[in-house]
Amino acid sequence: MDLALPGEEHPARRAFHQWLVENPKPTARQLAVAGYVAPHWPRPWGLGADPVEQLVIDDEMRRAGVRRPSNQIGIGWAGPTLIHAGSEEQKQRYLLPLLAAEEIWCQLFSEPGAGSDLAGLSTRAERDGDEWVVTGQKVWTSFAHVASLGILLARTDPDAPKHRGISYFICPMDAPGVTVRPIVDMTGDHAFNEVFLDGVRLPATNLVGPVNGGWALAKVTLGNERVSLSGEGALWGQGPTAADLVDLVRQAGGIADRLLRQRLMKVWVEGEILRLIRLRTVSAAVAGRAPGPEASVRKALADDHGQNVMEVAKDLAGLHGLVDTGLFEALTAGHRGEGSPVGGDHPSLGAGHVWPPTIWSQGYFFARALTIGGGTAEVQRNIIGERVLGLPSS
């Protein structure tokens, strides 16, 4: 596995240095216009960067302390789908504000009766002249309360087989008939919502791709969702790692309890295995090879691992772990810092929401979501069994 990045003379490094001289304190819009928010997207929205160029640009941005704007669902899921199937007008209208995070996006897919079996959704869209009239209910919609726009799946042909009667729309969240109600999760955060759609009128131009062709586009969106939930931190790629927990224990002077020591080492080993799987994926990309089954396997392992890390952290804190504050302080008594020692954006609230000192106790509660969102643990295992190992479906 050779992951050495090209040196200072690489053209992508030189181009970024030059651009930074001309834009010393880049705004989100300047980054978006220059193609540095999603360099792998085709021009003019990105730079058409190959994996090596992308890693080089990421490296340069990190060194320069330049942060990309945060619009997780917009940039991670909606944008790639619009590039794949949006009309030229839709790309011109939506992509730049999306990249600059001037318009935040949400994903109106799950419903009370349709989660894993998403194709069973019952929200209806009926054509009325130049408009579609949408009625139904969505749930678990992250960021709906701050979003300007949503990607929406609705049934446009109730008589067709379920996968063939769904269309893909763009829904303005301030349209008359859209009601957003908060759901406060067990961490105490308000990150997702219920969304009611009551006769919402969408212009025909808000349809993405062909009528009844939405399922193929939903698969593009969900494929991008799984990739972007697989970074290094224990909470969907964000937040602390098992190695961070080991560092805290080292600072605290070690652990006397032998059982806890075993469990800590077990999660550290899991973390190393996941880090190596991730390096293999990156190495394959750098070498120009298509990703193998690593992405599905990694998500299945990483979600359980995130829960294991947080459970060990909670138990390490002993009685302090019974209350929802002070866990970090308990782990690092005498080594207390301001805020969290670990980087990364909050997994459900996004960039700008720095982890509080209560990161471990909050993460413990958030970790329950890991094996549900982005495809449940059971559904991931079905995918591995059927698509990776070729076993017959149930």
Q: Which two tokens stand for residue 178?
A: 């859209």
Residue 115 φ/ψ region, left for φ over 0, alpha for ψ in the -120 to 50 degree band, beta for the rest: alpha
Residue 187, SS3?
A: coil
Shortest reach from residue 44's CB to ligand FAD, in Å: 28
Number of shown-chain residues binding ligand FAD (CB under 6 A): 18
- Contact flag: residue 376 with ligand FAD (CB under 6 A): yes
Q: Restricting to residues 148-207, name those near ligand FAD by CB under 6 A.
A: 192
Which parts of the chain are beta strand (E)?
Answer: 105-108, 124-128, 131-139, 149-155, 166-172, 178-184, 190-203, 207-208
The region of 49-57, 109-117, 171-179, 384-392 touching ligand FAD under the rule CB under 6 A is: 109-117
Shortest reach from residue 150's CB to ligand FAD, in Å: 9
- Contact flag: residue 251 with ligand FAD (CB under 6 A): no
CA distance 368 to 252: 27
- Partners of residue 111 on adjacent β-strands: 114
- Contact flag: residue 382 with ligand FAD (CB under 6 A): yes
**List 115, 136, 237, 271, residue binding ligand FAD (CB under 6 A):** 115
Whichever of 61 and 359 has its CB closer to ligand FAD, that residue is 359
Shortest reach from residue 281's CB to ligand FAD, in Å: 23
- Contact flag: residue 348 with ligand FAD (CB under 6 A): yes
Backbone angles phi, psi at 34, to 5 degrees: -75, -10
**List 71, 72, 81, 110, residue binding ligand FAD (CB under 6 A):** 110
Residue 126 designated active-site: no
The answer to whether the beta carbons of residues 230 and 237 sit under 8 Å apart is yes
Shortest reach from residue 60's CB to ligand FAD, in Å: 31
Q: Restricting to residues 48-107, name those near ligand FAD by CB under 6 A.
A: 106-107
**List 379, 383, 384, 388, residue binding ligand FAD (CB under 6 A):** 379
Q: List all residues 6 or more positions away from 193 whose beta carbon is below 8 Å from its beta carbon.
A: 140, 141, 142, 144, 145, 180, 181, 182, 183
Maximum distance among all Cα pairs of the chain, rounded to whole angstroms: 72
The answer to whether the beta carbons of residues 61 and 16 sit under 8 Å apart is yes
Chain residue whose CB lies nearest ligand FAD: 115
The region of 4-12, 54-62, 318-326, 373-381 touching ligand FAD under the rule CB under 6 A is: 373-381
One of 22, 225, 311, 329 is an active-site residue; which one? 225
- Contact flag: residue 142 with ligand FAD (CB under 6 A): yes
- Contact flag: residue 109 with ligand FAD (CB under 6 A): yes
- Contact flag: residue 123 with ligand FAD (CB under 6 A): no
Could you tell me which of 347, 77, 83 has the C-alpha nearest to residue 225? Answer: 77
Whichever of 115 and 233 has its CB closer to ligand FAD, that residue is 115
Half-sphere exposure for 332 (CA within 13 Å, toward CB): 20
Q: Where are the alpha helices (DSSP H) in 139-293?
A: 214-228, 242-251, 258-286
Q: Which helix (H) or strand (E) holds 8?
A: none
List of residues contacting ligand FAD (CB under 6 A)? 106-107, 109-110, 115-116, 140-142, 192, 348, 369, 372-373, 376, 378-379, 382
Instruction: Report, as residue numbers or ranges, the catalytic residues.
Output: 225
